A and B are shown apart, each in its own frame.
Chain A
């Protein structure tokens, strides 16, 4: 049997266990969480828009004519009955200070809807003091939100901990179950066994998190305006979808190799998890060459939409959250694969030395 066939046989035998292990059930939750959030957001917006449209739809012209200083009655005459209309009267309390008299007696909030945008109006003592118009679905904004979610949650936490759960169990879990000897008693080189197990973990993780990335991306895109969505798919949409899925899959490639090696070298998975998380977090502070030893650095370089960081964010936080100097796409892919090969090579050396000594586990 050739090593390639052996690797595939081992991967096939392991796949069922990796996919359906009770230990890694939470991995599915991590992978699907963003899809649920974006799907929920899209559905809620659609349902709300339908409900508002059925109550009262106001024309864009009427909304544009609403100006500051108008009275509530004038607005009602101009735009008709609002979707929401709440009035709050101020209650005077004994302990209120000398500024109490400056406070308005009556506040009225109205909301109009033109089918796409909602207009929130605030009246104080009958006069319009604030007008806020915003799209209920803003594709541009949602894409930035998605980029933020993808980089700060999906890559840093979701795929990170998902791979920890999947890959660390490939060897360490079997030691705890006292079943690793089963594999060691097969006529298979340890290096081949390691690659077979890695392949099983990679297929499972890539499918779970690649699908999760694609589903959440679709859940973000599909509820948007049909015209915008069509334009998006005809231009940059497929490329963006590809790179999000590619970043997720490459994340599994990189983190998978590290946690597989950690499962061979260390007994407690918490230690490599904390060390890795710290390393990935402080990466922005490190010199250029050190930054290249981070999985996250390469993954962020692949993301198609940069995450806008608030201008008033402290510099330290910016360093922690932003990729310091993104690599080019080919360099990012090659760098990540190179890092993975290095880690797998070290893991192979550890696998060759590994002994079955369940008593000490």
Chain B
């Protein structure tokens, strides 16, 4: 049986609107990031490989299984979608355990696995609260818990780092690494390359429904490092955070974000920046969120691909 995820000349249209066009992909096990601007076709690719949408033409196989056979595919796959809603009125624990019951686990097994998965994403304390009352970051994590609870071979994650605070982000990335290191697939999407380049084995760049580039991220990482990245920091004590960050050599610029949203920080080294944020957070200063704002991915593609040509 194939261990790859294969797209063979796959096209998908929503009426007259292009989703993806003539996609040929062979995704090996490991961490693969789909990177592209909003509306580029990342979610369509993910929905195609999970069977939530069907291709107009072409063939998809996930480790030798067709997405038209959900009874087989979903046994080896977990998908954390970008859709917020789950069963109405469900608590976090019910959301995960219900999904496990559908997988055929006994009630006791489903509950044990649900608690394990919830603990793994650090949501134990909030597990008995209703999902509808969760923050954006908590919803991300409970969806991740649901996706990993049955220990799948293929983990598909749509924008999994959106809305996570630095500490949780680091833990979540560690989880991806753990999964990807064991011969499993971790396929995730992001609209910001710098967000995922640190931990991805392979990156697929997509724009306007077409694959722009794909390959090992390691070969381009050093090149990207030279490209400064901008982040928006949500924090209450902006001036204190700014003064601590200014002491870091890799920071090129710090500005107050418009409408008092926090700080806009320009860094030349994302790993060093990430470490600095962890130190600040551990020192007791609240950082509510870190959002990459360098959304001009087209420009980045130009930089990446143009430089490679």
Contacts and interface: CB of A to CB of B under 8 A. Distances in A.
Q: Do A and B bind each other?
A: yes
A290 to B, nearest CB: 35
Interface in A52-88: none
A177 B88 contact: yes
Contacts of A13: 87, 98, 101-102
A188 interface: yes
Contacts of A189: 70-71
Given A177-B88, A181-B83, A186 B53 contact: no
Most-contacted residue by chain A among B81, B88, B102 (CB, 10 A): B102
B71 A357 contact: no
Contact of A186 (B14, B68, B88, B102): B102
A182 B87 contact: yes
Nearest to A20: B89
A186 B89 CA distance: 19
Q: Chain A interface secondary structure, helix, strand, loop or mixed?
A: helix
A262 interface: no
Interface string B81-122: 101111111000000001101111000000000000000000
B52 interface: yes
A6 B86 CA distance: 19
A355 B73 CA distance: 16
A282 to B, nearest CB: 35
A359 B19 CA distance: 13
Contact of B102 (A177, A188, A352, A356): A188
A301 B52 CA distance: 43
Interface in A154-191: 177-179, 181-190
Nearest to A358: B83
A357 B53 contact: yes
Interface residues of A, number: 30
Interface string B36-60: 0000000000010011111000000
B103 A179 contact: no
Contacts of B25: none
B104 A355 contact: no
B99 A186 contact: yes
Interface in A87-132: none
Nearest to B84: A178
Contacts of B86: 179, 182
Contacts of B52: 181, 184-185, 355-356
B189 to A, nearest CB: 16
Nearest to A13: B98
Contacts of B104: 1, 5-6, 9, 187
A356 B74 contact: no
Interface string A318-349: 00000000000000000000000000000000
A21 B89 CA distance: 10
A55 B70 CA distance: 75
A17 interface: yes
A285 B211 CA distance: 60
B75 interface: yes
Given A185-B74, A186-B70, A187-B71, A9 B101 contact: yes
B70 A357 contact: no
A355 B53 contact: yes
Given A13-B98, A178-B83, A187 B53 contact: no
B176 interface: no
B273 interface: no
A181 B72 CA distance: 16
Contacts of A177: 85, 88
A178 B85 contact: yes
B7 interface: no
A186 B50 CA distance: 11
B70 A188 contact: yes
B88 A17 contact: yes
B79 interface: yes
Nearest to B72: A187
Contacts of B83: 178-179, 181, 358
A144 B71 CA distance: 52
Nearest to B105: A1
Interface in A9-42: 9-10, 13, 17, 21
Nearest to B94: A13
Contacts of A356: 47, 52-53
Contacts of A182: 85-87, 99
A352 B70 CA distance: 10
Contacts of A5: 104
Contacts of A187: 70-75, 102-104
Contact of B50 (A179, A185, A352): A185
A357 B47 CA distance: 10
Given A13-B102, A358-B83, A190 B88 contact: no
24 contacts: A6-B102, A13-B102, A17-B88, A177-B85, A177-B88, A182-B86, A184-B70, A185-B52, A185-B79, A185-B81, A186-B102, A187-B72, A187-B73, A187-B103, A188-B70, A188-B74, A189-B71, A352-B68, A355-B47, A356-B47, A356-B52, A357-B14, A357-B53, A359-B14
Interface of B: 14, 47, 50-54, 68, 70-75, 79, 81, 83-89, 98-99, 101-104
Closest 10 pairs (CB-CB, A-B): A1-B104, A186-B102, A187-B74, A356-B52, A179-B85, A178-B85, A355-B53, A187-B75, A189-B71, A187-B71
Given A181-B83, A185-B79, A188-B70, 5 more contacts: A1-B103, A17-B88, A179-B83, A186-B74, A188-B102
